[in-house]
Amino acid sequence: MSNLEITIEFGGGAELLFDNKKAHNVSLPIKNKQWIIGDLLLWIKENLLKDRPELFLQDDSVIQ
């Protein structure tokens, strides 16, 4: 099986938490179940986030 290739884009200052990059081309592993947004957010936190995780997710929700 191949991976799921997607582009993730950040704006409104959120890119500052991700190496000052607005767009990230990523390869997500194929899972036994479909990806849902909650899974993606945790993956982003674990794999892309470079600084201040408390400004991205809190109690598994995105900070507004």
- 4-56 under CATH 3.10.20.30, yes or no: yes
Q: Please, what sign has the CA dihedral across residues 11, 24, 40, 51?
A: negative
Q: Degrees (nearest 5) of the Cα angle 21, 25, 28?
A: 130
Instruction: Write down the residue that tokens 């991205």 correspond to.
Output: 56
**Rounded to an integer, what distance in angstroms lies between the CA atom of residue 22 and that of residue 35?**
22
C-beta separation of 31 from 5 below 8 A: no
| pLDDT tens-place string over residues 10-61 | 999 999 999 999 999 999 999 889 999 989 999 999 999 998 888 887 776 6
Q: What is the pTM of this model?
A: 0.82
Parse the chain into domains and list their residue ranges. 4-56
